[in-house]
Amino acid sequence: MPSTLELLEEHRMFGGWQQRYRHPSTSLNCAMTFSIFLPGPKRESPPPVLFFLAGLTCTDENFSTKSGAQRLAAELGIVLVMPDTSPRGESVANDEGYDLGQGAGFYLNATQAPWSDHFRMYDYLNEELPALIAGNFNVSDRQAIMGHSMGGHGAIMLALRNPGRFTSASAFAPIVNPAEVPWGQKAFSAYLGEDRQTWCQYDSCWLMRNSTAKLPMLIDQGDSDQFLADQLHPERLTEIASEKGYPLTVRIQPGYDHSYFFIASFVEDHLRFHAQHLLA
């Protein structure tokens, strides 16, 4: 089939290539942009893929420009895929708040008007984008996933809902219990409606409590994060993991905040963690 990918940018980086593509998305019913880092040839076998899901207000570019992850991806021989955080465009519904609408897709399939026409990030990330990557790049079928804040929610939630799909999951400052915190409650009410039963399928605490499969999981959380007390609550997931014997490591990093300076400081540990499982 002819590729639907349009190359927007390409930069040599750490002996590999940092690229940015646009493509028409059938799940989201609009044009979407993603970034990808392709390491230089390391081995004979195709490299595995590590997805990074970004947080509120972000695009595919924040992690691409600020994390420094490509250095490790080049060294380890891993493809990084950085999707956008929501559908975009003039015909796509939006909201004045930074935490709803464009830039705030919460990685779910919306069922409520006006959002349900486009906001199907769950399907986009679970089916469409992986198929697009597999069909257009030389990659293995091994995949892992990571994210930050709203994207940490997305990474853990997608991993918990799809046992066997990812070798490992990790997050920086994730929203682990969106059904019970202000950011999640605002978004889930708008996208999914007021029937809270429908929220559970996107709540990592509920999903882990009801999980049977297990995959290795790493979370880093700064204790000077301005959103820690109201929005994040990693201790709720730690408690469930402990009860269930789930292989989750949560590290509290003293003095660190919610920024990409925090992500950059610990991204090496996350890449090496995923490499252990992706390349095993």
DSSP-derived 3-state class of residue 68: coil
**Interaction between residue 188 and a copy of itself (CB under 8 A):** no
Nearer to a copy of itself, 119 or 256 (CB): 256
251 contacts a copy of itself (rule: CB under 8 A): no
Shortest approach of a copy of itself to residue 166 CB, angstroms? 26
User: Would you count residue 252 as binding a copy of itself (CB under 8 A)?
Assistant: no
146 C-beta neighbours (distance < 10 Å), count: 32
From 6, 8, 11, 251, residue interacting with a copy of itself (rule: CB under 8 A):
11
The answer to whether 221 touches 227, Cβ cutoff 8 Å, is no
Residue 22 touches a copy of itself, criterion: CB under 8 A: no
Examine the residue annotation and report whether 259 is marked as an active-site residue of this protein: no
Catalytic residue status for 84: no
Q: How far apart are the first and last CA of the chain?
A: 32
d(CA 150, CA 56): 6
Examine residue 119 and tell whether it contacts a copy of itself (CB under 8 A): no
Taking Cα atoms as reference points, which of 102, 113, 98, 104 lies closest to residue 190?
A: 113
In the sheet that holds 217-222, the strands lie side by side as 6-13, 16-25, 30-38, 79-83, 49-53, 143-148, 169-172, 217-222, 248-253
Query: Min. distance of Cβ 21 from a copy of itself in angstroms?
Result: 16
Does residue 42 bind a copy of itself (CB under 8 A)?
Answer: no
Q: Which of 4, 14, 201, 250 binds a copy of itself (CB under 8 A)?
A: 14
91 touching a copy of itself, by CB under 8 A: no
Residue the block writes with tokens 């919610």: 258
Name the minimum Å distance from CB 23 to a copy of itself: 22
Q: In this complex, which beta carbon is closest to a copy of itself, that of residue 66 or of residue 214?
A: 66
Query: Binding of a copy of itself at residue 34 (CB under 8 A)?
Result: no
Question: Could you give the 3-state DSSP secondary structure of residue 74?
Answer: helix
Question: 149, 168, 170, 204: which one is catalytic?
Answer: 149
What does the block give as tokens for 52? 């990074």
| 45 is annotated as an active-site residue | no
State the minimum distance, in angstroms, from the CB of residue 255 to a copy of itself: 4
Query: What size, in residues, is the chain?
Result: 280
| Lookup: tokens for 206 | 């509920």
- Residue in 2, 164, 245, 255 binding a copy of itself, rule: CB under 8 A: 255
Is 222 a residue that touches a copy of itself (CB under 8 A)? yes
**Cβ pair 232, 56 in contact under 8 A:** no
Please choose, out of 49-57, 81-89, 101-109, 251-259, the segment that lies near a copy of itself by the rule CB under 8 A: 251-259
- Phi, psi for 208 (deg, rounded to 5): -65, -40
DSSP string, 188-201: HHHHH-S-GGGGGG
Question: Which residues are tagged catalytic?
Answer: 149, 225, 258
Residue ranges in contact with a copy of itself by CB under 8 A: 11-15, 18, 65-66, 68, 70-71, 222, 224, 253-257, 259-262, 264-265
